[in-house]
Amino acid sequence: MTSLTKLALGYPEILLSVICFLFLFLRLGRRRSNIPTNWPLLGMLPAVLSRLHCYYDWVADALSEVGCNFLFKGPWFCGMNILVTSDPANINHIFNCNFVNYPKGEEFREIFDILGDGIFNADHDSWKSQRKAAHEFISDHKFRRFVVATSHEMVERGLVPLLTRVAEERSVVDLQDLFLRFTFDATCKQVLGVNPGCLSPSLPVVPFAKALDDAEEVIFSRHILPRSWWKLLRRLRIGDEKKMALAWETIDYFIENQVAKKMAEVSKLRADKADLGEEMATDLLTSYLDRRPAVGDVTVESKKFLRDTTLNLMLAGRDTTGSALTWFFWMISQHPDVERKILEELRAILAKKQETCSHGKPVLFNSEDLTSAVYLHAALYESLRLFPPVPQEHKAAVQRDILPSGVRVDPKTKILVSMYAMGRIEGVWGKDCREFKPERWISEGRLRHEPSYKFLSFNSGPRTCLGKDMAFTQMKVVAAALIYNFRIRVVEGHVVAPKLSIILHMAHGLMVRVENREASRGAHLTVSAFRETA
């Protein structure tokens, strides 16, 4: 028996003290660090599960601590080892320089299976052909005018009257819900050519929207569960996977009905030998159907293509813009100085136009007026920097590679890019990175350009968002109308936190009170009716 063992047995209080010291040392050490402990068998998964309440901020803190890159170790034999990064150099390499080596990958398609073979899931030739078609339709001048006119119509006839009523009734409303209703109506009009009327005074229940929210939550849970676990739940149709199955049925029912109606419309016009471009609204589904040689005999494959394409377009149009507007209005409610500067900028724009309007009529802005709204643009960018609608993205390596940071990547390595964390890294945005400062986007009175691999809200490289300009125009039109006409304040004590979803929604909505702004009632200046020249 060694002298150390004899000492421990002879003086148990010493042994107990050593154990307590080690326990406290390890415990406190772990508390000071955001890097998760790699446990035998379970890997780092327990740390993720224990931090779900602050998941996105925890990932940001961990990446800040280690310098933008760390390897997450999942449970043994589950294939959950993931390289997590927010390093701009790595992101530029993955999204731009060596783009072909980092497709979405098979596992991404499995996790996002509800999106089918649409553009978000597609890789290689399928992605190229879909992107080419989408670019052709979205770049069409008539479609762009249609989008602008639709956005104005939804603001003028839906959003503004609804908020006016809320202000008059002095009631509390969920602004996030209103924005998602607005973007759903606008997206349905632009993609399907129909207005479901979600912004009508009764605020009707929207089963499709609820199903989409449910599906996005389940997709998030698939990211943090071992592949075999959630697949078993899916096979048994229990837990979250039961929710996914029900959401899938609702989504398919809505889209199949809308596609069938549109196909009947197009078929009738073709039978009458009408010009689709003249007789029908320039919505995207009409454009896709018009491109096909015949609509009558539709194959199973073409039906699936239309279903997948429609769902991908609906997701892109509704959720990202709705999320961006929600976080923007929360940020300006917390920074009244920013709101004041935006209001001053809008008043200056109106003063230059020197136009009059009828007493008490809400003021609307057209996209041409807002081209000079530099501070509003910068404030929206700053909100997107801190709260990107898509907070993280997955990639998978095809061949061996070495990233600019020196990290070696093997084939099939899974990579998680955290856009949310990137906006909170001092090495990327400076020591004030967590502050809301629109001024960081302005230089000598003009907008400052930042590379897309540093500001990833609209993606980067060949997969850059095709609808970026239209989405931003829509956000500016909405933001300008609401800031100029209303004073919006978050209800005192309302808890704001990100929802556990693939889209950065707020977990509890954004409950607000609304007041009519005196500046917009009886103002002697306004803009002309919303219009876009050909």
Q: In what order do the strands lie in the sheet with 172-174?
A: 172-174, 511-516, 486-490
Please say whether the beta carbons of 170 and 163 come within 8 A. no
Tell whether 54 is in a known binding site: no
Phi-psi region of 355 (alpha: psi -120 to 50; beta: other; left: phi over 0): beta
Closest CA to 308 of 252, 242, 253: 252
Q: Decide: helix, strand or coil at residue 172.
A: strand
Please say whether the beta carbons of 61 and 34 come within 8 A. yes
Strand (E) or helix (H) holding 83: strand 82-85
String of b and e for 108-141 (b: at least 16 CB within 10 Å)?
bbebbebbbbbbbbbbeeebeebeebbeebbeee
User: 430-435 long-range CB contacts below 8 Å, 24 or more apart?
Assistant: 434/386
| Amino acid identity, position 405 | S
Q: Decide: helix, strand or coil at residue 168.
A: helix
Residue 164's contacts (CB-CB under 8 Å, 6 or more residues apart) are 362, 485, 516
Please say whether the beta carbons of 167 and 515 come within 8 A. yes
**3-state secondary structure labels for all residues of 204-268:** CCCHHHHHHHHHHHHHHHHHHCCHHHHHHHHHHCCCHHHHHHHHHHHHHHHHHHHHHHHHHHHHH
Residue 219's contacts (CB-CB under 8 Å, 6 or more residues apart) are 111, 112, 114, 501, 502
Q: Give dist(CA 295, CA 84) in Å, integer.
A: 46
449: exposed, middle or buried (Cβ count in 10 Å: 0-12, 13-18, 19+): exposed
Q: What are phi and psi of 447, to 5 degrees?
A: -70, 135
**3-state secondary structure labels for all residues of 477-529:** HHHHHHHHHEEEEECCCCCCCECCCCCCCECCCCEEEEEECHHHCCCCCCCCC
Binding-site residue ranges for heme:
465
Binding-site residue ranges:
465
